[in-house]
Amino acid sequence: MKILVAIKRVVDPGVRVRPFADGSGMDLAAAKMSINPFCEIAVEAAIRLKEQGFASEILVVSVGPAVVQEQLRAALALGADRAIHINTDEPLEPLSIAKLLRAVVIQEGPGLILLGKQSIDGDNNQTGQMLAALCNYPQGTFASKINPMGDEVHVTRELDGGLQTLALSLPAVITTDLRLNQPRFPTMPNIIKARQKPLRTLTPAELGIDMELRVITESLAIPRSRPAGVKVQSVTELLEKLRTEARVL
Amino acid sequence: MNNAKVLVVLEPAESGLGTANARVLGAVTALRQHLPLECDLVLCTNSPMQIDAAVAMPDVAQVMWPDSLPDVQAETLAPWLASLASSYGYVFIASNSFGKNLLPRLAALLDNQPITDVTAIDSPHRFQRPIYAGSAIASVYTEQTQKLLGIRTSAFNAVAPGRGTARKVVVPGPAGQCQSRLVSEETVALERPELTAARVVVAGGRGLLNRDNFNLLYRLADKLGAAVGASRAAVDAGFVANDMQVGQTGKVIAPELYIAVGISGAVQHLAGMSESRVVVAINKDPDAPIFDVADYGLVADLFDVLPELITQL
């Protein structure tokens, strides 16, 4: 079986970013870029499913300008077998990404599709669910466990009130949460090998997808910062302040 | 399509309307500042308790529920809601694990780009939502005739039940599906207030060192009538269950009082609690970033502070 993993290039989670003063965008100049952490967990999950013999091939896909090939190569170095880059400089949103991925799903026919549950830049948490709807596949979102069971896959989901396990028929879409696994690091030989792995480039036009934005980000603002607080010296002083000054006790 | 009609999709609740749902109605109130609106509610259950609670809500025209319901998976609900939603200019749902799972699937069926985690409504077309773990607030605009919004519940006040006059309408339920099936559920029995609804929250981080030490936090919480939360580090380390995580990928809360104990204050954690009214930080590291957002900071060993707090309260 083939597994398709969709990944996104984002600012490295260790970098603190802020919007430009004029609100026109985020100041990402010189920021280190990485595979979105949730997507990296999806890649790791695919590699483990291949190591278990459940999958025979891992196809990794990303959408964006030429630089996203860096993240595709990184995923190939981790253990993906081949990559598809959907090349576009247009601004993206989950609906158009889901449509592009669906077009690739139709071409490639994967048995399982893995995505990170959300990207740490847009924080939308939408693409996997939208892709599942467009393909009319079942969905297992916020997965903390994935177990193939015969012709189904069992997915344990992290919910507000606890955990839930669903059995999904295949093909299915799974979005990965933080505690699913701990991604491995690439080895130097694998980084070199990844340079030779196949990477194909497509365009939205070739896939017949209209990229017109439905939701436009007009401006970005710096969130209201909390006024500087005070240090207290003791538990007694803390409780006194909470009772008489903040009046929350 | 009637632009002046909003459909609120209610998540099933243990009892009554559910706190998240009452806060989504608060977002409807916010939209009404810009636009006179007719508001209908649709339930994803036929529980008589939730029907009664929904009918009691003020300023609701119609409460709908399914005559039968095979399950509450997104695969079942999304096509059913897509057909019900077709005449509404707005569809609102809570941006929590129920709504985040369902809304994008529903939106894709309607060829719509939804807006999730809405924290403010600036006009009938313009909304605010945090991005980059709350490092920026985006003002977004859409001309889509249907606007599908996931509401960040901590950003809106709950609407109180009143003397509702809504019509009750039973609608044909969704068709069954054979794509996904519930195998098991581990729901957490709540001994304390629910995290997203609590007035006071005490939260622990890696500084608690192990699962047993969280008992100190539970004792403090019980003195305060508080809910207990945790940082991602504490959840990853296995000290507590995932449903207690506060942060960018966990729960986003805005209680009256948030007491962070042994939490360093990573950006992704701050994204989940920085809208709290009063923040207290207890940490032995004076340089911990949590102190930057704390109204009251106490630089001390939590194992000295917690017993003292419990005694003095």
pLDDT digits (tens, 9 = 90+) for A82-91: 999 999 999 9
Contact B295 A230 (CB under 8 A): yes
Contact A161 B299 (CB under 8 A): no
Do the domain assignments include residue A81?
yes
Residue numbers in A near B201 (CB within 8 A) = none
What is the set of domains in chain B, with CATH numbers?
2-171 (3.40.50.620), 200-312 (3.40.50.1220)
Mean pLDDT to the nearest integer, B247-273: 93
Do the domain assignments include residue A240?
yes
pLDDT at B29 over 90: yes
Predicted pLDDT at B192: 87
Contact B243 A125 (CB under 8 A): no
Do the domain assignments include residue A52?
yes
At A227, list the tokens.
């006024």
Predicted pLDDT at B1: 66
Mean pLDDT to the nearest integer, B287-311: 96
Mean pLDDT to the nearest integer, B109-120: 98
Do the domain assignments include residue A223?
yes
Average confidence score pLDDT of chain B = 95
Contact A230 B182 (CB under 8 A): no
CB B42 within 8 A of CB B10: yes
Do the domain assignments include residue A165?
yes
- Rounded to whole angstroms, the Cα distance separating A248 from A225 reads 21
Percent of chain A with pLDDT over 70: 100
Alpha helices in chain B (DSSP H): 19-32, 48-55, 74-84, 97-109, 214-224, 232-236, 267-273, 302-312
- Rounded to whole angstroms, the Cα distance separating B158 from B4 reads 22
Q: Are strands A230-232 and A172-176 parallel, antiparallel or unpaired?
A: unpaired
- Rounded to whole angstroms, the Cα distance separating B37 from B63 reads 15
Question: A 122-181 residues with CB below 8 A of B?
Answer: 122-134, 137-142, 144, 154, 157-169, 172, 177-179
CATH number of the domain enclosing A184: 3.40.50.620
pLDDT tens track of chain A, all 249 residues? 999 999 999 999 888 899 999 999 999 988 999 999 999 999 999 999 999 999 999 999 999 999 999 999 999 999 999 999 999 999 999 999 999 999 999 999 999 999 999 999 999 999 999 999 999 999 999 999 999 998 999 999 999 888 999 999 999 999 999 999 999 999 999 999 999 999 999 999 999 999 999 999 999 999 888 887 999 999 999 999 999 999 999
Predicted pLDDT at A135: 98
pLDDT at B55 over 90: yes
Residue numbers in B near A214 (CB within 8 A) = 112-113, 142, 144
Minimum-distance CB partner of B309 among A11, A129, A235: A235
For A238, the enclosing helix (H) or strand (E) is helix A235-244
Give A194's DSSP letter.
Answer: H
Predicted pLDDT at A226: 84
**Predicted ipTM > 0.90:** yes
- Rounded to whole angstroms, the Cα distance separating B158 from B137 reads 22
Question: Quick one: residue B130, left, alpha or beta (phi over 0 = left, psi -120 to 50 = alpha)?
Answer: beta
Mean pLDDT to the nearest integer, B276-288: 96
pLDDT digits (tens, 9 = 90+) for B61-105: 999 999 999 999 999 999 999 999 999 999 999 999 999 999 999
Instruction: Decide if B131 touches A, using CB distance below 8 A.
Output: yes
Report CA-CA distances (Å) from B145 to A94, A129, B1, B8, B62: 18, 22, 8, 17, 22
Do the domain assignments include residue A162?
yes
CB A144 within 8 A of CB A163: yes
pLDDT band of B14, cuts 50, 70, 90: confident
Contact B130 A118 (CB under 8 A): no
CB B68 within 8 A of CB B46: yes
The H helix count followed by the E strand count for chain A is 7, 13
Residue numbers in B near A154 (CB within 8 A) = 183
At A155, list the tokens.
């997915």
pLDDT at B116 over 90: yes
Question: B 179-198 residues with CB below 8 A of A?
Answer: 179-188, 196
Mean pLDDT to the nearest integer, B9-26: 94
Predicted pLDDT at A170: 98
Predicted pLDDT at A29: 85
Do the domain assignments include residue A249?
no
Q: What is the number of domains present in chain A?
A: 1
pLDDT band of B249, cuts 50, 70, 90: confident
Do the domain assignments include residue A207?
yes
E strands, chain A, are 2-6, 9-11, 33-35, 57-64, 82-87, 112-116, 139-149, 152-159, 162-169, 172-176, 199-202, 215-221, 230-232
Predicted pLDDT at A16: 87
Predicted pLDDT at B194: 87
Q: Which domain holds residue A188?
A: 2-244
- Rounded to whole angstroms, the Cα distance separating B108 from A214 reads 12
In a 10 Å sphere around its CB, with 0-12 CB exposed, 13-18 middle and 19+ buried, how is residue B127 labelled? buried
